[in-house]
Structure 1
Amino acid sequence: MSDKLPSSVSIKDFEPDTVLKRDVFSETIMGHLRGQPEVRLALRNLADVPWYGRRLSQWLARREARALSAVQGIPGTPRLLAADRRGILRVWSDGTPLHLARPSKPAFYHDARRILRDMRRRGVTHNDLAKPQNWLMAPDGRAELIDFQLASVHKRKSCSFRIKGYEDLRHLARMKQRYAPHLLTAKEAHIAATRSVPSRIWRASGKRLYNFVTRRLMNWKDGEGFGLRFEETRDAIAATLGDHESISGHALLAYPLTGSGVGLYLFVETTLNPKEAAVLLPEPRPDLIQTAPALPRDHDGTLRQDLLSLIATNRTDELDAALKDEPGLATILRPLVAARLNLTDRHL
């Protein structure tokens, strides 16, 4: 990749392909270098931020650019190409999100700890590792870390730096506990279970206010919350379908509509056809309803909403990575993919 990049790249050299995420502060777009479609890039676009979010979005962008500059050269961190008031341009990280890769070998977690250790040596903490999608597993099995929007750069090894560094490690230990519990050491188990004092205070007070503002007032449409409509529809469907004799499972998910906005996609495990299932649902109904005799489940019977979300958002390329590690799911997933109802990506 590096040998294909010119010595100097600016945001005007970016050719957009698909919008991956949009919120009030920015828009994350996957694209490529103009004239070189094989060179994949990612842009955090600030040009279309609404007026009421511009000041904060610019502050967050400066914070992210500073952190990315500080970690340049650390293997497994994004390569920064350009940053200005229009956005932040970096090389695309070609990995599989942690919740899909579900790494079970020690090499990944050793490499992830190495990344955090190298970052701490440069005074950088990530501060957003509760989200498994911020960890990627590269094609060669190495760890990669993305989304430095909330990262911070510390001049001194202050109390704040040590607490934030500990929380980064704690969240990594929790991910290891979730996806590779057989590798977890006693010390890591203790770290995973022990929140710092600021984290406990945040969980008891500040997080509630944060969720109210982002989910109810700002109606964020990313992984942090799908808005009031999602919650109300989810609860109404659960009350209606939960004990129905013809329904053995269901999952309600969000998917991006073309242009802007978010739709609701319902998977129903049943022998009923979509029209018959729709009759059972309360108004207002989800935008898309797909029925199937079987939905993918985990070993304990829990529905695999991570895989269903990829189908709902038409990210079928990412399903290939999941099927490599879990080929037994192919029999269930392939009919679902073939019959999927959302056939468009969200383009500019």
Structure 2
Amino acid sequence: MMADCETERTLKRDALGRVELLKRGDEFRIRRVACGSRVPLSRAVARVLAARERKALETLDGRVAAPKLELELAWSRAPSLGGTVPRPDGVLVREFVEGVALCGAEALPRNFFDLLAAEVRRMHALGVCHNDLHKEQNVLVRPDGRPSLVDFQLASVHRPGSFTWRARVAEDLRHVEKHRRRYMRVGRGPEGAEIDVLAVAKPRRGPLAFAWRRVGKPLYNFVTRKLLRTRDGAEERRPSSGPWPRWTEPIA
């Protein structure tokens, strides 16, 4: 007889809801419960973000290194640790991706950032832009050393070739190159492939990114940190003092 789905533990809880690790036998899933809190409008904001993630993952449909949506209702109906069953209209269940965040990886293949850029471009070709790749925790390093993208709450879906698509594509790729420069600069990168950051031009922000930094980001931080009192935007980042990952053979 098939085992029941159960909540293994709560991974995160804030004003927008909670993220849970679910288990059934040796299978695992991640469930986002967009229930909000007592903070005004928190449920509405949580559901907007969950809807964005759902649309992005539906569009990708497992065609890039990103989680697939789980459609089996048993996972959505599993009780939370407190015994309550979440309302189905506020739940998103996705595949569990084994891996460690980029900021915590102890080893990387020499061509890791080439692989990451290729996955991001594959995502873009399907019309999806991540819009949150500046956070190292949104890039996972899987056990085989390959990258995977997670946390699509801020993702957007566009017609490839449109103005907005081009602007956001450029921003996603700029953040990939920022990570590359930071991890592969002289003294950190693999021997023979280190980047001299003084000799190589830094990726420039586009007009959309400039406007976001001057207007959008302060407003976003005010809403998330002051009104909703979440830690969203608190970036997990490898300290400049390291330790930095060791480099392994490239992956074919």
Are residue 76 (structure 1) and residue 65 (structure 2) matched?
yes
1:30 aligns with 2:21: yes
* Post-superposition offset of 1:103: 5.0
- Between the aligned partners of 2:43 and 2:232, the Cα distance in structure 1 is 21
Query: 1:179 deviation in Å?
Result: 1.6
The aligned counterpart of 1:145 is 149
> Rg larger in 1 or in 2?
1
Match of 2:179 in 1: 175
Pairing partner for 2:12 from 17, 21, 42: 21
Which residue is 1:232 aligned to?
none
Q: Is contact 2:126–2:160 with CA below 8 Å preserved after alignment?
A: no
Give the counterpart letter for 2:233 in structure 1: E
Q: CA deviation at 1:303?
A: 7.8
Code of the aligned partner of 1:172: V
- Cα pair distance change 1:211/1:60, threshold 3 Å: closer
SS in 1 for 2:41: helix
Q: Do the aligned partners of 1:102 and 1:179 also contact (CA within 8 Å) in 2?
A: no
Give the secondary-structure state (helix, strand or coil) at the position aligned to 1:85: helix
> What letter is aligned with 1:25?
L
Distance 2:95 2:89 in 1: 18
Aligned partner of 2:30 in structure 1 is: 42
2:30 maps to a residue whose letter is: A
Partner Cα distance (1:88, 1:219) in 2: 22
Change (3 A) 1:114 1:135: same
Of 54-63 and 206-215, more deviation after overlay is shown by 206-215
Secondary structure class of the residue paired with 1:164 = helix
Long gaps (5+) in structure 2: 77-87, 248-252
Shift of 1:43: 0.6
Q: Does 2:99 correspond to 1:124? A: no
| Cα separation, 2, equivalents of 1:58 and 1:215 | 18
Task: Indicate how the Cα distance of structure 1 residues 161 and 103 shifts in structure 2: closer, same or farther if over 3 A, else same.
Answer: farther
Q: Could you tell me how far apart the structure 1 residues matched to 2:63 and 2:129 are?
A: 13
d(CA) in 2 for partners of 1:46 and 1:223?
15
Q: How does 1:221-240 map to 2 (within 5 A)?
A: 222-225=231-234
TM superposition outliers: structure 1 runs of 4+ over 6 Å: 184-187
Q: Could you give the per-residue CA deviations for residues 176-203 of structure 1, whole angstroms, max 9, x where no partner exists? A: 111222446699x54x530111211222
Separation in structure 2 between the aligned mates of residue 47 and residue 15 of structure 1, nearest angstrom: 19
Relative to structure 1, is the Cα distance of residues 48 and 215 closer, same or farther in structure 2, using a 3 angstrom cutoff?
closer
Q: Deviations over 1:21-61 (max 9, x none)?
A: 2232231111213xx1x111111112454462222222221
Task: Report if aligned partners of 2:16, 2:43 keep a CA contact under 8 Å in 1.
Answer: yes
Would you say the 8 A contact 2:177–2:203 is kept in 1?
A: no
User: Whose RCO is larger (CA < 8 A, sep 6+)?
Assistant: 2
Give, as a single letter, the amino acid of the residue that structure 2 aligns with 1:113: A
What is the alpha-carbon distance in structure 2 between the residues aligned to residue 40 and residue 76 of structure 1? 17
SS at match of 2:132: coil
Amino acid across the alignment from 2:28 = R
Aligned-residue identity in percent: 32
Instruction: Give SS of 2:70's match.
Output: strand
Structure 1's 16 and 49: CA in aligned 2 closer, same or farther, altered over 3 A?
farther
TM-score w.r.t. length of structure 1: 0.56
Q: 1:144 to 1:216 in 2, by over 3 A?
A: same
Q: Distance in 2 between matches of 1:125 and 1:46?
A: 22
Q: How many residues align?
A: 220
Contact conserved, 1:104 with 1:180, CA < 8 A, in 2? no
Secondary structure at 1:207 match in 2: helix
Q: How does 1:287-326 map to 2 (within 5 A)?
A: 302=241
The residue identity in structure 1 corresponding to 2:154 is L
Name the CA distance, whole Å, in 2 between partners of 1:186 and 1:85.
50
2:112 counterpart of 1:99:
no
Deviation at 1:210, TM superposition (A): 2.4
- Kept in 2: contact 1:109–1:176 (CA 8 A): yes
- TM-score w.r.t. the length of structure 2 is 0.75
Q: In structure 2, what is the Cα distance between the partners aligned to 1:121 and 1:161? A: 10
